[in-house]
């Protein structure tokens, strides 16, 4: 399997969480999500009540270990230093974070994800060495304050129409009921926070999301 195919597979069900998301114990929720079948995890400690410094690092260490034991790659959001300290499998940066080209230099061949909102940003991210693009918010979300306009599915379609072949993951307001739309539009997978972290039964929610995505992937 080539590297691009491997990234596409990892994006199938990409769970993002920090201690500020959901009510449950993050380690327990991550464990449940892994049992339910997530394919990639991102530690995103951000927003109101987010941990900082040593506390953030210690939680990162524990979540990294859970992922490592399960063979699920571990990505750090927007903190290259922490990613290097934890020997994470990758880093995800947004347009307001460290530049993708600088990040790529610092992380070597770890996985690099970049959030993009326009074709121009996408082309730049690809030139800078992005392994995948995050696109969103696809649907309305309450998990991020500083969101740009809701792009809907048209942005994914537009990227594909303009021949962007880099792996794409959709984010924002995705649940098992609308996950298949993201794949149909041309996404390789879905990224969720609240659909898992906010679920009463995180494992069950994960299983349902995974089924919805896999079913649509098979029909592609
Ligand atoms: N970036 C765009 S939307 C979003 C991020 C981090 C939040 C997604 O959270 P949810 O709960 O899956 O809508
Ligand atoms: Mg960011």
CA angle 135, 197, 179 (to 5 degrees): 45
Q: Which residues line ligand 1 (CB under 6 A)?
A: 136-137, 141, 143-144, 147, 171-174, 192-195
Tokens (6 digits) for 172: 């924002």
**What does the pLDDT look like over 88-127, one tens digit per residue?**
999 999 999 999 999 999 999 999 999 999 999 999 999 9
Residue with tokens 């998990």: 143
DSSP state, residue 132: E
* Cα–Cα dist 134/97, whole Å: 14
ipTM for the predicted complex: 0.94
Percent of the chain clearing pLDDT 90 (strictly above): 91
38 Cβ partners below 8 Å, 6+ apart? 13, 14, 15, 72, 196, 206, 210
Q: Tell which wins on pLDDT, 49 or 205.
A: 205
| Among 174, 196, 193, residue whose Cα is nearest residue 185 | 174
Q: For position 72, what pLDDT does the model report?
A: 98
Q: For position 24, what pLDDT does the model report?
A: 87
**What does the pLDDT look like over 76-92, one tens digit per residue?**
999 999 999 999 999 99
The residue nearest atom 6 of ligand 1, judged by CA position, is 144
pTM (whole model) above 0.80: yes
Of 15, 42, 46, 143, the residue with max ligand 1 atoms within 8 A of its CB, to mutate for a pocket test, comes to 143
Q: Is 113 in a helix, a strand, or coil?
A: strand
């Amino acid at each position: 399997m080539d590297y691009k195919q491997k990234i596409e597979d990892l994006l199938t069900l990409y769970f993002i969480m920090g201690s500020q998301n959901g009510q449950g114990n993050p380690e327990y929720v991550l464990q449940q999500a892994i049992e339910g079948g997530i394919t990639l995890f991102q530690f995103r400690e951000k927003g109101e009540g987010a941990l900082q410094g040593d506390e953030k690092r210690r939680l990162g260490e524990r979540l990294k270990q859970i992922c490592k034991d399960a063979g699920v790659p571990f990505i750090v959001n927007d903190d290259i230093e922490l990613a290097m300290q934890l020997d994470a499998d990758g880093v995800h940066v947004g347009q307001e974070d460290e530049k993708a080209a600088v990040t790529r230099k610092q992380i070597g061949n770890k996985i690099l994800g970049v959030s993009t909102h326009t074709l121009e940003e996408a082309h730049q991210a690809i030139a800078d060495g992005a392994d995948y693009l995050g696109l969103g918010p696809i649907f309305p979300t309450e998990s991020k304050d500083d969101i740009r306009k809701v792009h809907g599915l048209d942005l994914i379609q537009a990227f594909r129409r303009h021949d962007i072949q880099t792996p794409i993951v959709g984010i924002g307001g995705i649940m098992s009921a609308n996950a298949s739309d993201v794949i149909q539009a041309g996404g390789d997978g879905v990224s969720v926070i609240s659909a898992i972290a906010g679920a009463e039964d995180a494992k069950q929610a994960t299983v349902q999301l995974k089924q919805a995505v896999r079913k649509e992937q098979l029909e592609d």
